[in-house]
Amino acid sequence: MPTHRILAVVSRLRNVCMQNTSSSTTEGESIPGAAVALSAQAGKSMSESEVVRGWPVPGVPEFVPARGLSGGNLQTVMASLFPGRVNLQGTVPRHLRLLDDDRAVLHDDMPGIWQRGDHVVLLLHGLSGSHQSGYMVRLASRLTALGVRVFRMDHRGCGAAAQLARSPYHAGRTEDIAAAVAMLERLCPGSPISIAGFSLSGNMLLKYLGDNAESLPFCLYRAVAVCPPVDLHQCTARMATTTAGQRYDWYFTRRLLSQIVQTTLWRDELPLAKAKRLPRRMYEFDDLYTAPVTGFASVDDYYTQTSSLPVLGRIRVHTTILASQDDPVVCPQPLIDASLPPNVTLCLTPHGGHLGFIGRAGVDPDRRWMDWRLTEWLLE
């Protein structure tokens, strides 16, 4: 399909999304407001009795959804529409040279009281997000208030790295996490380093920990993966089974198209440029673009090689996985069935949606239950 036609479609999609979302929506994380109407049809949470494992977790406060936000779709959409971003002052962008000489960007938030040897946290955004995503900024704000130095990473082709990268990031770019950790070691010698990965980056983080279990740097202290799609085959297949899932699938596919058109990531020679119609599913997008541009034999080969599920049992770093039973985007069943080592804790709440976890008042200083648990898990 010609580039100008893709641009025209993307432009129309942006206009529709702007009409259906609040002005405070997080860049790259918004979901069409029409998805709210689907909360009564799909993504309904399972009852607590159906949770096989992972909840309750000793020492973890119960997650009770805010009134009126008990459905997974509502949790997901409202967290996106109202990201609760704060203004972080003094952020220093640092260009990261990757193993293949490509580029990513780390955004350095260093509190004034931080000293050499103090704690450092690396944050990795989800699909089509950036260092400005609401959960990234909120968590960085909480951590820096505690004297923790935070680095928010823009993956290849995302955020500040949008026009720098020659190839896109994907679910298995574990070498990019390794490069970021190595940079943090140089900038912060002697500091313990914790890492939090959200959604697709949660899978990347778990694969990084499992694939490199015997060679990880000693500085790695804690890891947290939030709503990770550890089985990409099952994740994409599940979204196709519900109306709500198809809407998320369609929207994120359009976001990915928007992210590559008229950037250094576009390739005229790839199947996507020659397609007769725009892909409507991420599976199609990965088949026409991600797999061929990153050297995988096929989309199924890409999903097989980059899913973290087969390596979860090898993880040696103290790790917490946060997921919800009513996540409308990522299927939690592979985590329920997985054989996890003692140092990996699964926290599987009955409710919470995808990167939602907006709770009732009274449990934490605000309703962002997820943020406070991550703060605890990364530093404990």
pLDDT tens-place string over residues 349-358: 999 999 999 9
The model's confidence at residue 45, banded by pLDDT at 50, 70 and 90, is very low
**What is the mean pLDDT of the segment spanning 209-231?**
97
How far the first Cα of the chain sits from its last, in Å, is: 51
What is the structure's pLDDT at 360? 94
Q: What's the number of domains the chain is made of?
A: 1
**Active site positions, annotated:** 199, 327, 354
What is the structure's pLDDT at 50? 52
Tokens coding 313: 């049992």
Percent of the chain's residues with pLDDT above 90: 76
- SS in 3 state form for the chain? CCHHHHHHHHHHHHHHHHHHCCCCCCCCCCCCHHHHHHHHCCCCCCCHHHCCCCCCCCCCCCCCECCCCCCHHHHHHHHHHCCCCCCCCCCEEEEEECCCCCEEEEEEECCCCCCCCCCEEEEECCCCCCCCCHHHHHHHHHHHHCCCEEEEEECCCCHHHCCCCCCCCCCCCHHHHHHHHHHHHHHCCCCCEEEEEECHHHHHHHHHHHHCCCCCCCCEEEEEEECCCCCHHHHHHHHCCCHHHHHHHHHHHHHHHHHHCCCCCCCCCCHHHHCCCCCCCHHHHHHHHHHHHCCCCCHHHHHHHHCCHHHHHHCCCCEEEEEECCCCCCCCHHHHHCCCCCCEEEEEECCCCCCCCEECCCCCCCCEHHHHHHHHHHHC
- 281-313 pLDDT, tens per residue? 999 999 999 999 999 999 999 999 999 999 999
Check whether 3 has a pLDDT greater than 70. no
The model's confidence at residue 13, banded by pLDDT at 50, 70 and 90, is very low
Least confident among 48-57, 126-135, 204-213, 331-340: 48-57
Give the pairing type, strands 319-324 and 220-226.
parallel
The model's confidence at residue 51, banded by pLDDT at 50, 70 and 90, is low
Residue 254 is which amino acid? Answer: R
- Tell me the whole-structure pTM to 2 decimals: 0.87
Check whether 124 has a pLDDT greater than 80. yes
What is the structure's pLDDT at 63? 95
Q: Where in the sequence is the domain holding 192, given as residue range(s)?
A: 1-380
Check whether 120 has a pLDDT greater than 70. yes
The model's confidence at residue 52, banded by pLDDT at 50, 70 and 90, is low
100: CATH: 3.40.50.1820
Percent of the chain's residues with pLDDT above 70: 86
- 320-351 pLDDT, tens per residue? 999 999 999 999 999 999 999 999 999 999 99
Check whether 158 has a pLDDT greater than 60. yes
